Amino acid sequence: MKKRTVAQITRSEHLDMGGTKVKQPLPTMKVEQVDPFLLLHHFGPTRVGPGSDPLGVGPHPHRGFEPVTFLYNGGILHKDSRGNEGLLQSGDVQWMTAGRGIIHSERASPEFLDKGGVMEGVQLWINLPKKDKMAQPAYQDIKAARIPEIVESEGKVNLRLVAGPYKGKQGPARTFTPILALQATLSQGGYTEVEIPEHFNALLYILHGEIQLNENFSYESETMIHFRNDGEGFSLRAKADSQALILAGAPIGEPLAQWGPYVMNTQTEIMEAMRDYQMGKMGVYIE
Ligand code: MN
């Protein structure tokens, strides 16, 4: 396999979102996007006792992209302005199409509030092409059991295939543009060759552990590696028990206009989004 070289390495910036500790490797001052991936938030792991919500994000709007939540640990109750309600448990993925607009809240589930525990997850923003930005909002609540697993390296590598075809299997998420999303768990010594279509942009985010890339340098947690499009993939060797998220996708290649929760192509469309939100065109949601 011809291995891809590294274009850029970024470390997570830490932010506090209303009491929630969030690590953000994308975007940073150096990297605006890895088309079609716009933003990656790694929240937790945060351990709390009963009655405490380490997440607690109240009603807010989105338009023009897909927010995807990978819940590694904990429980999230999701509610929105269109009357939808969804429960995410450990290992579940919520693939949401914000499309023309939605207002939602993301909070700890009643069971989590009752018992306490560890909350950890990743929220990823994936851009939509211009023709699909005003699509009807939709959800795919993907239960853990529906996600196929690819086991390699004598059980030391486990790849959960959330989206895309990979090594003869197919991930359950339906996407607007070609996307590959893999949740990798590696035990120390585990080795895998990750195959990526040549025209896809690709990134690797290390949540935990230490991973040697292409039999060369090793990288620790909270690091994001963005690859050049100069090979068929890359290899990973776990130097310690590790968790990583592998994301790749066909670039959309259209102009980007972004303001907070809206991702459009022009500034005029951002103004329209703000106006539509004020006018209640994304629905009304009061908790
Ligand atoms: Mn949101």
Supply the CATH number for residue 175's domain: 2.60.120.10
Residue 185 lies in a domain: yes
Q: Choose among 46, 43, 45: nearest CA to 24.
A: 43
What pLDDT, on the 0 to 100 scale, is given for residue 18?
67
| C-alpha of residue 13 to centroid of ligand 1, in Å | 19
What's the 106 CA to ligand 1 centre distance in angstroms? Answer: 7
What does the pLDDT read at residue 91?
A: 98
What is the domain range of residue 154?
A: 6-249
How high is the pLDDT of residue 219? Answer: 98
Ligand 1 centre from 85 Cα, in Å? 14
Assigned domain for 151 exists: yes
Tell me, yes or no, whether 282 lies in a domain: no
DSSP, res 12: P
Whether 240 is covered by a domain: the verdict is yes
Q: What number of CA atoms fall less than 13 Å from residue 128's CA on the CB side? A: 28
CA 161 to chain centre: 13
Cα(191) to centroid of ligand 1, in Å? 35
Residue 164 counted as domain residue: yes
Give, for 274, the enclosing helix (H) or strand (E): helix 267-278
Give the model confidence (pLDDT) of 159-178 as tens digits: 999 999 999 999 999 999 99
Q: Residue 199 CB: number of other CB atoms within 10 A? A: 11
Q: Determine the distance separating the centroid of ligand 1 and the alpha carbon of 136, expressed in angstroms.
A: 16
Q: Which residues, other chains included, contact 220 with Cβ-Cβ below 8 Å and sequence gap of 6+?
A: 206, 209, 210
**Does residue 199 sit within a domain?**
yes
Q: Is the peptide bond before 36 cis (omega within 30 degrees of 0)?
A: yes
Q: Write out residues in the chain with pLDDT < 50, as ranges.
A: none
> How much distance in Å is there from the Cα of 226 to the middle of ligand 1?
25
In a domain, 262, yes or no: no
* Confidence at residue 19, expressed as pLDDT on a 0 to 100 scale: 67
The 3-state DSSP class for residue 164 equals coil
